[in-house]
Amino acid sequence: MSMTSPPTGPRELFVRHARRDGRSIAVLRAVDYGDSCVVEAEVYPAGGRSAEPTRPGPYTFADVHQATAFMTEAVEALMVLGCDVHAQ
């Protein structure tokens, strides 16, 4: 009998929360599905008529490295736009 257990399903890798002037701008979440890695996004539009975020994507990548590179570029862009980005 093997001591390794099978994967238990999707595994959240990391979450990044972007705020600007104390307001939520975006939440990015990377999830590892084993055969692919998905980045999910929630974006809170400025001056939006509702508190509900839009959900562009999801963005699917072949592996964790590609998803991490995408997240790094997205976080850098948010920081250039004046957002504070924190791990959640």
Q: Which amino acid is at 68?
A: T
Residue 18's nearest CA partner among 80, 79, 70 is 79
- Domains held by the chain: number: 1
> How far, in Å, CA of 16 to CA of 50, rounded?
22
The answer to whether residue 25 is domain-embedded is yes
The answer to whether residue 3 is domain-embedded is no
Q: What are 43's strand-pairing partners?
A: 26, 54
The answer to whether residue 53 is domain-embedded is yes
Residue 68: helix, strand or coil by DSSP? helix
**Mean pLDDT for the stretch of residues 55-70:** 95
Residue range of the domain that includes 82: 11-87
For 3-47, write each residue's pLDDT tens digit: 555 557 899 999 999 999 989 999 999 999 999 999 999 999 877
**pTM of the predicted structure, to 2 decimals:** 0.81
Residue 41's nearest CA partner among 6, 1, 80, 77 is 77
> How far, in Å, CA of 17 to CA of 26, rounded?
6
